[in-house]
Amino acid sequence: MSQVSNILSRDMEFFYNDLNENCNVSDASSDINLIADFTEYNPLHNGHFHCMKTAKHMFPDSLFVAVVPGLFERSGRGIPYILPREVRAEIAISVGADVVVEGPPMGIMGSGQYSLCLCRMFKALNTDYIPRGYKPVEGIDEILKRVNLGHHVASKPYKVVDRTTNEILLKGKLEEDNYVITSFANSLSKIGFDFKDKFIFVERIGGVSGTLIRESILEDNFDNVLDMMPPKTIEVLKREIKNDSIIYGIRDADRILETANQYSFDDLAGLNLFSDKLAQSIVENRPFDNIDEIEDAILQGFSTHFRQRVLSVLENPIPKKLVSQYIDKYPSVIRILGYKNDDCLEKFKKKINNENISLFKRQL
């Protein structure tokens, strides 16, 4: 089996183990403040580093916990990550994180689903502060103000509303980073978590290009991006390239083709993100000989990344009813990907309210 196939098989086992695990909630009591930062670190660049440094400077005695997704190694866009999560955790620890925990399986979920999971994680961690980067655009200041007042702010099609006051705060769509903020506010409100004054909003810095970074990795030439990432990120990327451990863009094509060609209409329609119409399109256009043919058969969804997410679902075929059960129990287990030292680990254990904690072991 390939490295990616091994990862996906292992993570499927994790998923079902977590699904069947009963969460043991404790009444944690700790005076230490905990900063929980959700970031994909794909890879960790100077924008991520700036956000981390800003939060740590504001609350220097806090425990900085990075929430790094997660099962199946597929991003919120449905695309395979550059590095496995345990390697992304290694970089995060090296530049200042105290603890890194595994986040939800973003690539097989809709944006609302993984936002809800992330907010459940914030609650389980007894989070005191949530740093979040934003882009300064017209209307965003009022939105950020309402969020830090603890208002139920939510993005609707072509508008942003304050459900607490029933006001329209913005007409139009938000860009991705700013949209995530309103998505968190909406999900945190739904689970009853008081987030008043918990967000640390950090204006995004310029000079970082994800496209150039990805090109540098594929070409194994970092000359044009040396000032975009911390030296540790580049060091680890070079090491993983040498070890042939970069997983960016690599899929288990055999598994995707098997699901698309062999699953019945009912089985396809029962998968997460699937509708009857999408399942019918797959059935009518098979058999497929390659992934490109499957992509052509995937109907365009609301998200621009819908096709890639569907490929990830075909790659990891989990029924939507089980995904819903998983979300309801999330996080049934707090899986630690890395930690700075034993003292940080003990402080973390005393702070959180979930007794099910496990240490992740890297797959060789």
Tens digits of per-residue pLDDT, 324-336? 999 999 999 999 9
User: For residue 294, which phi and psi values (nearest 5 degrees)?
Assistant: -65, -45
Q: CA–CA separation, 13 vs 177, rounded Å?
A: 32
What average pLDDT is seen over the chain? 94
pLDDT at residue number 305: 86
Average pLDDT of the residues in 193-197: 97
Cα atoms in the Cβ-side hemisphere of radius 13 Å centred on 103: 32
pLDDT over 90 percentage in the chain:
88
pLDDT over 70 percentage in the chain:
97
Tell me whether residue 239 is exposed, middle or buried, using C-beta atoms within 10 angstroms of its C-beta: 0 to 12, 13 to 18, 19 or more.
exposed
Higher pLDDT, 22 or 120: 120
pLDDT at residue number 86: 95
| 91 in Cβ contact with 41 (< 8 Å) | yes
Q: Please give the sequence-ordered ranges of beta strands (E in DSSP) within the chain, or none if there are none.
A: 34-38, 63-68, 99-102, 130-134, 153-156, 159-162, 167-171, 199-203, 334-339, 357-359
Residue 1 has pLDDT above 60, yes or no: no
pLDDT at residue number 356: 87
**Per residue in 145-169, pLDDT tens?**
999 999 999 999 899 999 999 999 9
pLDDT at residue number 364: 44
Q: Left, alpha or beta for 150 (phi > 0: left; psi -120 to 50: alpha)? A: left
Q: At what angle do helices 3-19 and 320-329 cross, to 10 degrees?
A: 60
